[in-house]
Chains A and B, each alone.
Chain A
Amino acid sequence: MDCKKIQEQFTRHLESSLSEGASSDVEKHLKSCSDCQKELDEMKAFLLVLESQEMEKPSSNLRMNFARNLAVEIEEKELKTIPLNPKQNWKLYLRVAATVLLIVSAFLLGKQQANITRIAKNIQKGDKKEVLDLLKNNSASKRILAVYSAEKFTKKDTKIIQALINRLFFDKNTNVRLAAAETLLKFSSERMVRDALIKSLETDKSTAVQIELIQILSKIQEKRALKPMEEMLKKEETPQYVKQQLQLNLPSLL
C-alpha cells in the first residue's frame, strides 16, 4: 500500500473507526515507514489541538430574543383558538399571559425579571381582540377594566372606538357608560365620537352620565351640544342638580 492511501486513513485510525483488518494494515506499514510515522504523530498532536477547543457561551441576548419570539408565536397561536363565549375570554387571556410568562421566565435568568414583566405588559397592552372581548364580559367591573384599557389605543383603531361608543349607548350599568364617556374623551378629535357624545346627552337616562357628558362636551368645546343643552335646561323634568351643571358649563360654549 502506498503512503498516500495509508495516510488518508490516519484520522479514522486515530479515532479507532477503522476495521480491524485495515487498522492492522496501517500499523504494519508504519513499522517500516518513518515518514508516515512522522505524519501520524503530527496528526495526533493536531487532533489534540482541535480537541482542546472549547465551546463558547453566547450572551444572554440570544436567550431573551428567543423567549420573545417564542412568546409572540404562542400568543398568536392561542388567539386563533379563542372560543366565541365571552365568559371564557378573561380566563383565556390570563392563561395565555401565564403560559407565556412561565415559558419566558422558565429560561430567563433572575436578572431578566424586568424584561419578563415588560414583555407581559406589551402583550397585555397591544391586544386589541382581548380588549374587544373583555368589553362584552358579564361582569361590570371587568367591562370597566376593558374600557380603561382601551385608552391605550390610537384614534386609528376604529373597532375599539366603535366598541366604546356601543358601551356608551347600550351598557346597562351606569358606571360602565360613565367610564366609556370618559375614555371617549381621549378620542374626541374623531367626528363620530363627538356625534356619539351629543346623542348620548340627549338620550341617556342616568343623571350621572348626563352630568359627565355636559362636562366633557364643554371641555372639548363642542358647539353643537349647545342646543340640546339649552333644551335640557328648559325642560321641567330635568333635575335641579343637572340644571345646575348645565348652568355651570353652558357659558363656556357660547
Chain B
Amino acid sequence: MKKIYLLILFVSTIVTAQKKEFKYALTGVKKIVLESSTQIILKAANISALTLSENNDHHSEHFFQKDQDHHEHDEGRKDKRKGLTAIYPGGRDNTSGFGFSIIKEGTVLYVIDLKPNFKRHGIKLILPKSINLVINAGRLGSIEMEGFTGEVEASTNIGKIEMKNVTGPITANTSVGKIDIDFDKVSQTSPITISSSVSEIDVTLPTNTKANLEIRTQGTVYTNFDLEMPKKKGLQNVSGRKNIVSKLNNGGVKIFIKSSMGNIYLRKK
C-alpha cells in the first residue's frame, strides 16, 4: 500500500498541474490536530489518508511559484532552494514545500501550518470521515467542514465555523465569527458545547434527537422545536440573560449552546 502512495506522491509532484496535493498515510492515527490561520476547508471521504491542497490565487501565482518545492525529479529548474527544506519559526516544513509540519505522536497527528495568514489563500484537506479532529484556526482563520462522524473540537477567533452532516461530539468556539452547525444525527457519547462571544449561532438537529438542551444568550432565541420557556426569576432577567433548559424527546446527551450577545437559531430537520 505504501508503495502506491509513494508512487502517487511522485506522480502528483511531477505532473505539476494547477492544483498540487500532498498526501500522507494515516495508518494508526486516531486524531488529527490541525493548526492554521487561514480559511480551512475539510471534506470527509472513505479513505485512510490525508490529502492536503492549497487554494490558488490567480493574482499571486508568481508569489506562489516562488514557494513551490523543486523535487529532485524536476529537472530544468535552477533554484537555490533545490534539495533544501524550509525552516520556519514554527518548525520544519516536511510536506514538500506546502509549508506544514506534520508530526506523529502516538495515535495523534499534528498538522501545523507554518505560514502566516497573509501568505495563504485557504487550504483544503480531505480526511477519513470517522477521524477525531482538533482544529484551531488562530486569530484570523475560519473553518468549514462536511461529513465527519468523529469527535470535533473547533475554535476560531473572528473566522466563522460551518459544519454540515456531522454527528459529534462537537466542542466549538468562536469570539466574533458565526457558527453554523447542521447535524446528521447526534452522537450520545459525550456533551456537545457550542459557544460564541458576540455572534449568532445556528444549529440544526434532527427532529427526533434525544438531548438535554441548555441555551444561554443575552440575545434572542429563535426555534421551531417545542422548548420549555425560561421562567422569570426576578433579577436574572434584568440583565437580559436568557437561560433555557429543556429536554428534547425525553432527554439524552447534553447540548450547550451559548452566546453572550448573539441570537441563537435552533432548527428542526
Expressed in whole angstroms, the minimum distance between the Cβ of A172 and any Cβ of chain B is: 9
Number of A-B pairs whose CB atoms are under 8 Å? 80
Residue from B132, B155, B169 in contact with A173 in the complex, judged by beta carbons closer than 8 Å:
B155
Complex contact A211–B195 (CB within 8 A): no
B171 & A175 in contact (Cβ 8 Å cutoff) = yes
Cβ of A24 within 8 Å of any chain B Cβ, yes or no, is: no
Interface: B175 (CB within 8 A)? yes
A140–B195 CB distance below 8 A: no
What bracket does the count of chain B residues touching chain A fall in?
20 to 34
**Residue from A138, A141, A176, A245 in contact with B260 in the complex, judged by beta carbons closer than 8 Å:** A245
Per a CB cutoff under 8 Å, which of B190, B196, B239, B261 touches A141? B190
A174 in contact with B155 given A141-B169, A144-B191, A207-B197 (CB within 8 Å):
yes
Q: Is the CB of A139 within 8 A of B173?
A: no
Asked if B69 is at the interface (CB within 8 A of a chain A CB), the reply is no
For the complex, give the distance between the alpha carbons of A138 and B190 in Å: 13
CA distance A145 to B193 in the complex (A): 10
Contact: B254 with A139, CB < 8 Å? Answer: no
Given known A-B contacts A144-B171, A148-B191, A208-B260, A173 and B198 have beta carbons under 8 A apart? no
| Complex Cα–Cα for A242 and B168 (A) | 30
**Closest partner residue, chain B, to A174 (CB atom):** B173
Report yes or no: A215 in contact with B193, Cβ–Cβ below 8 A.
no
Q: Which of B169, B190, B260 contacts A241 (CB 8 A)?
A: B260
Contact with A along B142-167 (1 / 0, CB 8 A): 00000000010101000000000000
A112 interfacial by beta-carbon distance below 8 Å: no
Interface size class of A (residues with CB under 8 A): 20 to 34
Q: Which residues of B contact A208 (CB under 8 A)?
A: 173, 175, 195-197, 260
* B258 at interface by CB-CB < 8 Å: yes
Report the separation of the CA atoms of residues A206 and B256 in the bound assembly, to the nearest whole angstrom.
18
Q: Which residues of B contact A249 (CB under 8 A)?
A: 239
A22 contacts the other chain (CB 8 A): no
- A181 CB to closest chain B CB (Å) equals 11
B192 adjacent to chain A (CB < 8 Å): yes
Q: Mark B17-30, 1 if CB is under 8 A from A, else 0.
A: 00000000000000
Cα distance A102–B5 when bound, in Å?
47
Check if A212 is an interface residue, CB within 8 A of chain B: yes
A248 contacts partner chain B, Cβ-Cβ < 8 Å: yes
Indicate if the CB atoms of A175 and B190 lie closer than 8 Å: no
Closest to A240 in B: B198
How close is B143's CB to chain A, nearest CB, in angstroms? 14
On chain B, the residues within 8 Å of A116 by CB distance are none
Q: Is the CB of B191 within 8 A of A207?
A: no
The 5 closest A-B pairs by CB, nearest first: A141-B169, A141-B190, A174-B173, A211-B260, A175-B193
Known: A141-B190, A144-B190, A208-B173. 7 other contacts (CB 8 A): A141-B151, A141-B171, A148-B254, A174-B195, A175-B171, A245-B260, A249-B239
Sample (26) of A-B pairs whose CB atoms are under 8 Å apart: A139-B190, A140-B171, A141-B151, A141-B169, A141-B170, A141-B189, A141-B193, A142-B190, A144-B171, A145-B191, A145-B254, A148-B191, A174-B195, A175-B172, A178-B195, A178-B258, A207-B175, A207-B197, A207-B198, A208-B197, A208-B260, A211-B260, A241-B197, A241-B261, A244-B261, A245-B260
